[in-house]
Amino acid sequence: MPIRIGIIGKTNAGKTTLFNSMTLLSAEVSNYPFTTKSPQSGVANVVTLCVHKEFNVKDNPVNSRCEDGWRFIPVEVTDLPGLIKGAWMGKGLGNQFLAVAAQSDALFHVVDASGSIDKDGKITEAGTGDPIADFADVELELVLWYVKLFTSNISKISKLVKTSKYSLADAVAEVLQGIGVKKEHVIRALSDSLLTEKNVENWNEKEIQNFCWILREVSKPTIILANKMDLPYAAENFQKLRETYKGLIVVPTSGEAELTLRRAEAKGLIKYVPGEERFEILKPQELNEAQKAALAYIKRKVFGEYLRTGVQFALNIAVFKLLKMNTIYPVADPEKLTDKQGRVLPDVYLMPTGSTVEDLARTIHSDLAKGLLYAVDARTGLRLPANYVLRDRDVLSIVSTARRG
């Protein structure tokens, strides 16, 4: 199952533009509020330095792609309908939202950092909107959905605790598992809100809201994307966002710049590796005036001030820093670094920090895990036991009675 990232935020913040720039899909974008009506998923990539150079071999990637020494590993991103204040009361949106939230491992919360959206979600002059308030409003919407769901399940939770061996944390996790809440999240939220010992039927409104607020935070790790960084006022608002939301990572982005570059790259007009801090025009004679102007604008406004569009950086930060994933390269032959078909370094897996050889075996195939004996480290040739904790960039061969993977 690939890692999933959901894109949330106020209407017109640029979510779909970012989504298109990551996936090269063409979902509808417009300057009208509420353009996106239903969630749409696509494939984006995270990028890491491939190990093939270190081993001095040429690779034949299968589950990923290698370009200029960079490994591109697929992840799933989902674009969501926009929100404004009060949206949680609407019926349809709420359910769609929770369904996607349930499936997301992390969220991008997109904010129009240039402040060019008014409170109703309409585009106005840059600098007149309030990105700090926009962020807070959407977060509140999200929490209110949690509150609504939680409140409607209080009697069920209470019953589970009374009539079975469920602890309060077990019961809450059971009831909210549909939105991706795990027991460890509930334990954290109960303890941080000082509610571990209090009968759930006696929680007051403020306690419920506080609990849900913490639960939202711990169960859905989130990065703020300060978008539209190419526009005026964005730099000031980016600083303000950083100062106001100190506990969160804020990444400056320009979805529109990334989209222009990725599409020009796809057409062969420029050479651009996402995440790199430059691009090169390959066919200047084939560019029309508008394309030339767009590229010059990007060079001046995006690469000049922020060094990159931020889009690839945000994806990488989400997966490697927020979700703490490591890259692991399983091979069948630890000397030749090949799979059974002789392909060199075919696959790379994203495994959470703390995962073991056994976890990796299980991720690749359940049979492999059943007959697991040990793994061989391709760098040292040493045997690694089933409980060996994987490290980033490990290249290893799993040895199992079931088969050699």
Ligand X SMILES: Nc1nc2c(ncn2[C@@H]2O[C@H](COP(=O)(O)OP(=O)(O)OP(=O)(O)O)[C@@H](O)[C@H]2O)c(=O)[nH]1
By CB under 6 A, name the binding residues for ligand X: 9, 11-17, 29-31, 33-36, 81-82, 227-228, 230-231, 254-256
Binding residues among 34-53 for Mg ion as defined by CB under 5 A: 35-36
Q: How far is the CB of 165 from ligand X (least distance, A)?
A: 45
Q: Do residues 13 and 111 touch, judged by C-beta distance below 8 A? A: yes
Q: How far is the CB of 108 from ligand X (least distance, A)?
A: 11
* Cα within 13 Å of Cα(278), Cβ side: 3
Say which entry of Mg ion, ligand X, none residue 356 contacts (CB below 5 to 8 A, set by partner kind). Answer: none
* Residue whose pair of structure tokens reads 């075996």 in the numeric block: 361
Q: Is 17 in the site for Mg ion (CB under 5 A)?
A: no
| Distance, CA of 225 to CA of 144 (rounded, Å) | 22
Q: Is 12 in the site for Mg ion (CB under 5 A)?
A: no
DSSP state of 83: B
Reading phi first (left if > 0) and then psi (alpha if -120 to 50, else beta), residue 342 is in left
Binding-site size for Mg ion (CB under 5 A) equals 4
What is the C-alpha R_g of the chain? 23
Q: How far is the CB of 114 from ligand X (least distance, A)?
A: 7
Structural element, H or E, at residue 76: strand 70-79
| Distance, CA of 5 to CA of 1 (rounded, Å) | 12
Residue 218 three-state SS: helix
Cα dihedral sign, 260-264-265-267: positive
Tokens of 24: 């090269």
Q: Is 400 in the site for Mg ion (CB under 5 A)?
A: no
Find the part of the chain contacting Mg ion (CB under 5 A) among 8-16, 58-66, 115-123, 283-291.
8-16
Q: How far is the CB of 262 from ligand X (least distance, A)?
A: 13
Q: How far is the CB of 259 from ligand X (least distance, A)?
A: 8
Say which entry of ligand X, Mg ion, none residue 255 contacts (CB below 5 to 8 A, set by partner kind). Answer: ligand X
| Strand positions, DSSP E, 228-294 | 249-252, 270-271, 280-281
Q: How far is the CB of 64 from Mg ion (least distance, A)?
A: 28
Q: Is 227 in the site for Mg ion (CB under 5 A)?
A: no
Phi, psi of 332 (to 5 degrees): -85, -40
Q: How far is CA 110 from the centre of its chain?
A: 12
Strands 325-331 and 349-352: antiparallel
Q: Is 16 in the site for Mg ion (CB under 5 A)?
A: yes
Choose between 131 and 330: whose C-beta lies nearer to Mg ion.
Answer: 131
Say which entry of Mg ion, ligand X, none residue 256 contacts (CB below 5 to 8 A, set by partner kind). Answer: ligand X
Q: Nearest to ligand X by Cβ — which residue?
A: 82
Q: How far is the CB of 4 from Mg ion (least distance, A)?
A: 18
Say which entry of Mg ion, ligand X, none residue 328 contacts (CB below 5 to 8 A, set by partner kind). Answer: none
| Distance, CA of 364 to CA of 346 (rounded, Å) | 13
Say which entry of ligand X, Mg ion, none residue 185 contacts (CB below 5 to 8 A, set by partner kind). Answer: none
Q: Is 23 in the site for Mg ion (CB under 5 A)?
A: no
| Strand positions, DSSP E, 143-195 | none
Say which entry of ligand X, Mg ion, none residue 31 contacts (CB below 5 to 8 A, set by partner kind). Answer: ligand X
Q: How far is the CB of 131 from Mg ion (least distance, A)?
A: 17
Q: Which residues bind Mg ion (CB under 5 A)?
A: 15-16, 35-36
